[in-house]
Structure 1
Amino acid sequence: MSKNISVVDLFCGCGGLYEGFKQAGFKASVSNDIWEPAFKTFVRNNNSTPFVLGDITDLEIKKKIIQEGKGSKVLIGGPPCQAYSMAGQRNVDDPRGKLFEDYLEIVNNIKPKFFVMENVKGLLSMEHDKQKLNPAEKKELNKIKSLENDKIDLMLKRKQSKNTNKIKFSIKEEEKLEEIKKKLKLLKINTSNLRVKVTETIKKRFLDLGYFVEIKVLNSANYGVPQKRERVIIIGSHNGLNINFPEPVYLERKDTFNEEIFRKNHPNWITVKEAIDDLKNKSEDVSFNHVFTKCGDDFKKKIKNTPIGKSVYGGFSDAYFRCPPDEPSRTVKENHGGVFIHYEKDRFMTPRELARLQSFDDHFIFEGSKSQILVQIGNAVPPKLGYSIAEVLKENI
């Protein structure tokens, strides 16, 4: 197998997915993102890679990407996950969701042998309206959208009420929320024939271009990432090429397993402590992205009183969460200041510690403010997951 297989990297962010592909012997013919802090990080760590900074919906930007990417064997990256995230309103009318159309156009022009898209699990349950609906059908679907917005507003208020005495969530509001949920359930059953799964549309649109698509959820912890990050991986192959997904390398050890047999076949998941324990007493080092978060005395007391496996605020399941040391972390997200709390030290984890949980090597340096760096880390595909995907793709190129 020859090295330096050419790859186009779209929506690349800071470069997590490409970092894994690079380690597997791929080389980017061109990379693209719209956000300058991510661009600066990517270029710092890949200074010889052609980079097109800008919006792919811009015709000139798209033209440059296609010109630079012609002849590439693989195209990686997908539209931003925020448009589909289970944590927010999964609205396919979001402009970011329409970036899929630009992705299709670029794939059709470059015609790689494979493409790889990554997204959140919420994509699997997303639906969109069918085309050619009559006015009455559209009216029924608009009722669903209106009720969904009301539900989101009430759920947000309920969540906020758990974290501050300034916001109250009344019994009437709780009853209203339950009533909305019942109405939504009935409406969705009655209009199920008017909607179609987003994943089915993705498969059909790519099949029209000559690509067969397979979709699978992969848990990053199974590939050496000290984080239980589950993501939808979409792989498309041109003209009948085989599609393989990586087999797990690491597995969760079950108490019922024979430990000796287990260790012989699969090492245990990498834990938070194994990943970052050597950094717990390290002094602040800005050049290494090991930067501490400053907070007031009251919040310091709250951190000190937060046990392992709990959040400072009850309404937040992941933000301000004190990670158990002896298992992989929960999903690292773009929570800005609301990141994980160290399992032993009464402080927030630093960007470098979070980068370790995302499986970035220490030589990978992030550019930007601390807040911008946290967003880059939270949005990245773990390099070790990318590496595992790249390795199985190589077998069929």
Structure 2
Amino acid sequence: MEFQYIDLFSGCGGLSLGLLNSGWKGICAVEKNPDAFLTLSHNLITRDEAGYLWPDWLPQKPLSTGELLNDYSSHLSSLKGKVTLLAGGPPCQGFSTAGKRDPNDPRNQLVRDYIKTVEIILPRFLLLENVRGFTHAFSKGGEANKIPYSVIVAQSLEQLGYVVFHQMVKSSDFGVPQLRQRFILIAIKNNDPALKKLGDKTPFDLLAANTPLFRKRKGLPPKKETTVKDAISDLETEGKTYIDCQDSNVSGFKQIKYAPPKTMSKYQAFVRKGLNGDSPNSLRLARHRPATIEKFTKILKSCPKGHCLSVENRERLGMKKQATTPLHPHKVSATITTLPDDILHYNEPRILTVRENARIQSFPDWFEFLGSYTTGSTARKTSCPRYTQVGNAVPPLMAEAIGETLLQLAKD
């Protein structure tokens, strides 16, 4: 028996990749941004090992959840009782504590599209991922905004007949070399056999119990955190040959000529599986100005690594940017964001490459990111370049661990 899922707000495919790796079968994935959908399609839809069944009635193209509900609601209704899991990570910019936290951000309403889809197809299980700010009430906007969205969603799903569980989850628990705490909601239909299987425990209790064995199967230490150096030391530039960037639509950029090291960390061996010694894509190095390199060098020499720069250090260095973190090689990374200059390499005065960010997010090296690397200010609101695709993604390794636990509950 196949256990099937639909992925809403799928982005470039981090959540889907994890679910597919854990044994789920995808029906389809819904993503409105053309750049992110291009990467998703290239890796998970059109590959020989495609993970999706993909219904004939749904075009394989960028699609918003609004279009899905408006144009294909009758087709969605035909899936009622046939979908085991509805998964998704609604855009989180309106909820993020790192942003403006605008209660009127239209992206906040996309959570309601998720709930409407639940109402139509009533799957056995629900999985929803979001940022920590999803659990915080808005500080502005009137009485209606004093209830956190997490509570609103839980109440809505309970009214639809679900038992709801939610918890903050750390990506690093699953071997991801990044702290990245995320709000995870799991809901199970009332009277589903999975609830009896759980007894007085929660899905998160089961997830925690499964995690050491999950990490061991991946070849990762059951308890030790995966460090930044474990993840990206083979991508350092010192002593490497530089070549023209192989996948940039802008000339003049360089990348390293990649060669697998003689000795890999366990994590590097894990992400390198399936490449047979080939080079991963998205290795383009930034072209920093001399003044920028000088500033980054000062940061690496004089500021604590693994911590966001303090106000005092920013003032001393004449920096207006609020969030800059030089990585510590022997600790997990700070959260990878959509902004390339939020994080600096631990010993080279530069930002990370897209591939280094992808490694820290736990994407395998065979997974290729497509589209432009970055975007100018005029197109920033509509485009989704590679750095943004990676920063928005659910870490596949975390998604796989959650997917395994849900599959365990779904099986008789």
TM-score interval for Structure 1 and Structure 2 normalised by the shorter chain: 0.7 to 0.9
Question: Structure 1: which 5+ runs fail to align?
Answer: 129-143, 146-187, 251-263
Conserved? CA contact 1:30–1:65, under 8 Å:
no
Quickly say closer, same or farther: Cα 1:93–1:339, change in 2 above 3 A: closer
Partner of 1:219: 170
Is 2:153 the counterpart of 1:202? yes
Moved more, 296-305 or 63-72: 63-72
* CA distance in structure 2 between the partners assigned to 1:92 and 1:68 by the alignment: 34
Which of 358, 364, 368 is the equivalent residue of 2:367?
364
Conserved? CA contact 2:170–2:181, under 8 Å:
yes
Which of 66, 76, 82 is the equivalent residue of 1:57?
66
Quickly say closer, same or farther: Cα 1:111–1:44, change in 2 above 3 A: same
Quickly say closer, same or farther: Cα 1:199–1:391, change in 2 above 3 A: same
What does 1:221-300 correspond to in 2, within 5 Å? 221-240=172-191, 241-242=194-195, 243-245=202-204, 246-247=207-208, 249=211, 266-281=222-237, 283=242, 285-287=245-247, 288-300=281-293
Conserved? CA contact 1:66–1:109, under 8 Å:
yes
* CA distance in structure 1 between the partners assigned to 2:336 and 2:94 by the alignment: 18
Q: Which amino acid aligns with 1:244?
A: P
After superposition, the C-alpha distances for 1:213-251 in whole angstroms (9 at most, x for unaligned) are 11100010011100010000011111244351221747x
After superposition, the C-alpha distances for 1:264-283 in whole angstroms (9 at most, x for unaligned) are 99431000000000111354
After superposition, the C-alpha distances for 1:14-49 in whole angstroms (9 at most, x for unaligned) are 000111111101121011011000000000001243
Which of 356, 378, 385 is the equivalent residue of 2:398?
385
Conserved? CA contact 2:338–2:392, under 8 Å:
yes
Conserved? CA contact 2:172–2:180, under 8 Å:
yes
Residue 346 of structure 1, CA deviation = 2.1
Residue 305 of structure 1, CA deviation = 1.5
What does 1:311-330 correspond to in 2, within 5 Å? 311=309, 313=314, 316=321, 318-319=323-324, 321-330=325-334
Quickly say closer, same or farther: Cα 1:396–1:67, change in 2 above 3 A: same
Partner of 2:251: none
Partner of 1:343: 346
Quickly say closer, same or farther: Cα 1:265–1:277, change in 2 above 3 A: closer
RMSD value, Cα: 2.6
Question: Structure 2: which 5+ runs fail to align?
Answer: 55-59, 196-201, 213-219, 248-280, 375-384
Quickly say closer, same or farther: Cα 1:301–1:28, change in 2 above 3 A: same
* CA distance in structure 1 between the partners assigned to 2:122 and 2:31 by the alignment: 20
Moved more, 212-221 or 40-49: 40-49
Conserved? CA contact 1:293–1:347, under 8 Å:
yes
Give the secondary-structure state (helix, strand or coil) at the position aligned to 1:97: helix
* Count of aligned pairs: 320
Conserved? CA contact 1:62–1:106, under 8 Å:
no
Q: TM-score, normalised by structure 2?
A: 0.72
Partner of 1:150: none
Q: TM-score, normalised by structure 1?
A: 0.74
What does 1:4-19 correspond to in 2, within 5 Å? 4-19=2-17
* CA distance in structure 2 between the partners assigned to 1:194 and 1:68 by the alignment: 35
What does 1:103-252 correspond to in 2, within 5 Å? 103-127=114-138, 144-145=140-141, 195-240=146-191, 241-242=194-195, 243-245=202-204, 246-247=207-208, 249=211
